[in-house]
Structure 1
């Protein structure tokens, strides 16, 4: 039995190095990375800037202090995020699931400040994935993930992505918050209708319900803007981010507006490691890179080209049902099990991941070139043909 608990089906080769948009196994074989650690290593592997930021932090001799004390890196990162978003305050966590779990707590804490004493429910929408912790699993629309762990946390419901149904469900007296991903990653890379999201923002404001946007996978440059919500013309009450925030180091964040922030009191929530000086210093470097207008323009341009090429593959192979995506976040529904294609691509040196039994998901590093994308697409098409 392996020493690491068997909660993942890992590929057989042992990976030992990374180089830009490639991962390299112990035999020296190079694999073009269309996964990026599941939308994490957006600046690629072994990035010089990230490595330098790590060395700078290590040289300070201050890796951890706990949140009992102030540190310059944590405060600088929080201020940068506030300055570049709707938020007035930030809470740092260790992961995306923790960020969403914390957002649920913040929503219920805020609800206690309203006149409605029964206000506590969290609403998620069909196709959602928000994590695997007790609260976030209850908000995740994946029956296979949920079934072994019932009963799930109470006060959390999943409803259709339909404004009429939400008008019925969003009771001002009982509902504290709605959480939604602008693009549902694990749910099949489904781009949620912008008009639905704008309508949801209006409805939640009208009903005195918080809107939480989960941009853990689709945020921080992945769709061609730093935050996905920027393309919608709306602002949430809370925003959760994580995956690429430190290009592979474990850090997440909950961004909150003043309405939520002023209800939180010392002792209401906590974390030992969240936003520590090493992680925050690296993340501060990463967010400045990921918000660079030139990089975002690159994501928009090569992302549009990538989508066109996927459509070309669909036309030539006749084995694709649908293609969805934006920027460098795409999904392709295929007729045969996605795992079979992923396996054949892996043998040819291309790393991919699924988003459901019949959906291929593409999440390459944002720094990938068009030529590197073309190389991966050539492998993909060959793998789809058998």
Structure 2
């Protein structure tokens, strides 16, 4: 096989310019550590954008992947396979859902959910019941339907006309929701914690109102748990400590522990609107992905691991507050479990990526959620010492930025 010499400059030569990756080119990972082409070591607070829930190259996931690779990779859904059925059984045992649709990503899981809510309303009421209510600053993926439902207009620019029948409201505004919902509404779609929108948790009152209003108007409640799901908040799914149960839940990211896989979870009644031929995915539910995902969720759905996530949240918060006590760069630290956002003060608005670049120079990888919020979504099993060392690197980075 031909060997290629690649660098960051190669990206500009051969890749579509829809990304602007940092100059670091990681080549190896282990646990919560990453090494680049030059051998420099980094602590990983980014987690592949909340994907690598068990860190890099977790031995159980690697073992499972190698084992399945010697058996069966892909069949298409003309047939089914044992890992897909086992994973579906496991997911229905751990949450409210009775039926599962597998795909490859969060975008695809949401696309399936958005199609299903309209199909369900069509089947039970008629074509006039098609409106989807979503919320400002939400993010649900990058397909045309998904960016339309998402509440960030910048992602729709240049793609008009976009699908009709989507209404966006202020997040956490119960009165606005009461005023907007009608018998034409087929679904309310929300994230229990808005991830890309700035790590903004939904209030308990808002979630409860969404559930009650859906029930009153015969609409479905969809929780996008692509980012909050599979242990990220200290619950297996974030809805589990809210007292509110959705009709449909979408999940991906941490579901595969780094292997591409997504799923839409729902009840039997709602699932029946996706009859034979109504939706599909060539790769969705392939044996490799489902085998790895089953190993991942088996490890994550552990009482002690989930309890530790909440403990690690407190350590992150203490360290961030300590940095803020010294430098005063954050207005608020928010989130739950190991989905954490630190909003920059107005002085530093629009400069989130500068903090990312400075942190990388100090040996720390992290994220932003928009231009004004530093976001951390590390491995759920990141050692406490790695958290402290990563925060020391962030402190050095903040000091350099502030002093300049």
Give TM-score scaled by structure 1 length.
Answer: 0.97
SS at match of 2:97: coil
Q: Tell me the CA shift for residue 143 of structure 1.
A: 2.7
In 2, distance between residues paired with 1:349 and 1:365? Answer: 17
Instruction: Specify the alignment match of 1:293 in structure 2.
Output: 303
- Residues paired across the two proteins, number: 384
Determine if the alignment matches structure 1 residue 8 to structure 2 residue 19. yes
Instruction: Specify the alignment match of 1:379 in structure 2.
Output: 393
Determine if the alignment matches structure 1 residue 185 to structure 2 residue 195. yes
Residues 135, 156 of structure 1: 8 Å contact kept: no
Q: Tell me the CA shift for residue 263 of structure 1.
A: 2.2
Residues 136, 152 of structure 2: 8 Å contact kept: no
Instruction: Specify the alignment match of 1:55 in structure 2.
Output: 66
SS at match of 2:282: coil
Q: Tell me the CA shift for residue 264 of structure 1.
A: 2.0
Residues 22, 357 of structure 2: 8 Å contact kept: no
Match of 2:44 among 20, 33, 47: 33
Q: Tell me the CA shift for residue 116 of structure 1.
A: 4.2
Match of 2:74 among 45, 64, 73: 64
Instruction: Specify the alignment match of 2:56 in structure 1.
Output: 45
Determine if the alignment matches structure 1 residue 105 to structure 2 residue 119. no
Determine if the alignment matches structure 1 residue 221 to structure 2 residue 235. no
Determine if the alignment matches structure 1 residue 137 to structure 2 residue 147. yes
In 1, distance between residues paired with 2:300 and 2:103? Answer: 20
Match of 1:248 among 252, 258, 262: 258
Instruction: Specify the alignment match of 2:179 in structure 1.
Output: 168
SS at match of 2:320: helix
Q: Tell me the CA shift for residue 302 of structure 1.
A: 1.1
CA offset digits 1:212-238 (Å, max 9, x no partner): 000000111000010000010111000
In 1, distance between residues paired with 2:122 and 2:343? Answer: 43
Instruction: Specify the alignment match of 2:7 in structure 1.
Output: none
In 2, distance between residues paired with 1:331 and 1:50? Answer: 28
Residues 304, 326 of structure 1: 8 Å contact kept: no
In 2, distance between residues paired with 1:117 and 1:267? Answer: 19
In 2, distance between residues paired with 1:81 and 1:282? Answer: 14
In 2, distance between residues paired with 1:165 and 1:258? Answer: 31
Structure 1 segments unaligned to the other structure (5+ residues):
none
Residues 19, 46 of structure 1: 8 Å contact kept: yes
Residues 96, 240 of structure 1: 8 Å contact kept: yes
Match of 2:213 among 178, 203, 211: 203
Give TM-score scaled by structure 2 length.
Answer: 0.93
RMSD (Å), alpha carbons? 1.1
